[in-house]
Amino acid sequence: MYKKETKIVFETRITIQRLLYITLITITAEVLAHDTDKEHQGPQTCGGRLKGPVGVIQTPHFPNAFPVPIKCKWIIEHDIVNGTISIYFTQQFTTSGLTFTEYTYYDESYKLEERRALTVTEENITRIKWLQVCICVF
């Protein structure tokens, strides 16, 4: 019997240039993979804290599938005033459950000026089923 399947393969290249905010990225997938007959016991955690000019974010066992349910949280931080955080997705197969939240200050016990920057939904994600390459000779 097939069950609903959601795969989240997430690799992100992060370029940090004169940053102001801390960005919190959270991915949650709570569905069952179709190739298993049993549920995983509890969420498998992943994530971490990134501080520096460049970083990579990826799910466990990337590029292979990971067990679900899963909840990943990455905290990207810096201390340079009047800057931005640029996040470039090189591979992302998510149609929901991906949220970007900005804070002026972030600590597990205290969060200042929370702003939800983006939540990925089925309506706002770009989907490409295949890529066709044409080698044209003139």
Give the pLDDT confidence of 41-75 residue by residue, as tens digits.
Answer: 445 568 888 887 788 888 888 778 777 777 788 88
pLDDT at 10 over 80: no
The predicted structure's pLDDT at residue 44: 59
Residue 18 Cα distances to 53, 77, 78, angstroms: 9, 11, 8
Q: In terms of pLDDT, which residue wins out, 133 or 93?
A: 93
Q: In terms of pLDDT, which residue wins out, 15 or 48?
A: 48
The predicted structure's pLDDT at residue 17: 35
Q: In terms of pLDDT, which residue wins out, 45 or 10?
A: 45
Residues 87-122: pLDDT tens digits? 777 777 666 777 888 887 888 888 888 888 878 777
What is the C-alpha separation between 63 and 12, in angstroms, rounded? 12
> CB within 8 A of 3, min separation 6: which ones?
31, 32, 33, 34
For residues 58 and 90, the answer to whether their CB atoms sit within 8 Å is no
pTM above 0.75, yes or no: no
The predicted structure's pLDDT at residue 27: 52
